[in-house]
Amino acid sequence: MSLALQNVTLTYPDGDGRLTALDNVCLDVPPGALVAVTGPSGSGKSSLLAVAGTLVTPDEGDVVIAGASTRSLSQKQRAKMRRNEIGFVFQQDNLLPALTALDQLLLSADMRGMRVRAFRDKAIRLLEEVGLAHAAHRRPHEMSGGMRQRVNIARALMADPSLLLIDEPTASLDSERGKEIVAMICELVRTRKLAAVLVSHDLSTLTDADRIVQMRDGRLSRVGIVAS
């Protein structure tokens, strides 16, 4: 599935005026591609993800998901789209302290229409894919920051989203661990043909991205093409 932001402008109330968080932003993400967005704090990166994920409606412009405009969708239709099609990964992993890695995944997704056994098998396969086959029964405090972030990513994939939106996944990791996580996300994105946007202020972790764009004061500019 593809994602396109078309001339998106987003403002927030700011005293007597408005603050422009996204200024006429255009971005195309084809299936199987990971676009990395970098830029200083306050430049609009999280706002861009919130708009791409239909959590926030822009003042102007459109978000096109799988070729379909989301502009005229109702709140209910948006919620359904998020549940079925969009995986969110945030910097804070929000894992429940009492639950094992496997249970975090089982708790996360809607298992209606799925047999318990198949659901569990899927969670185990996902943990294997993110390199945590050995840690399925560990609780968050028994895992490193990198392992917790892998659980966080696996959890976002439980509902088989076609669009993955990831906000600062490496913020609490050193540069080497950060690079490994980004490389793993790129691999998942390519094999599953997801469209993915990953936000990071740390350019050094982004060498595996298909494209890197720079955000500054709500505007996007291209940094360079890392791969074709």
75 lies in the binding site for ligand ADP (CB under 6 A): no
Query: In terms of CB distance, is 38 or 46 closer to Mg ion?
Result: 46
Q: Which does 61 bind (CB under 5 to 8 A by kind): Mg ion, ligand ADP, none?
A: none
Tell which one of 46, 149, 200, 205 touches Mg ion (CB under 5 A): 46
Rounded Cα–Cα distance for residues 89 and 100 (Å): 18
Phi, psi of 11 (to 5 degrees): -125, 155
What ranges make up the beta strands (E) of the chain?
Answer: 3-14, 17-29, 33-38, 60-65, 68-69, 86-89, 163-167, 195-199, 211-216, 219-225
Q: Which does 19 bind (CB under 5 to 8 A by kind): Mg ion, ligand ADP, none?
A: ligand ADP
45 lies in the binding site for ligand ADP (CB under 6 A): yes
21 lies in the binding site for ligand ADP (CB under 6 A): yes
Query: In terms of CB distance, is 167 or 208 closer to Mg ion?
Result: 167
Instruction: Write the DSSP symbol of residue 130.
Output: T
Tell which one of 43, 100, 152, 205 touches ligand ADP (CB under 6 A): 43
Give the residues lining the site for Mg ion (CB under 5 A).
45-46
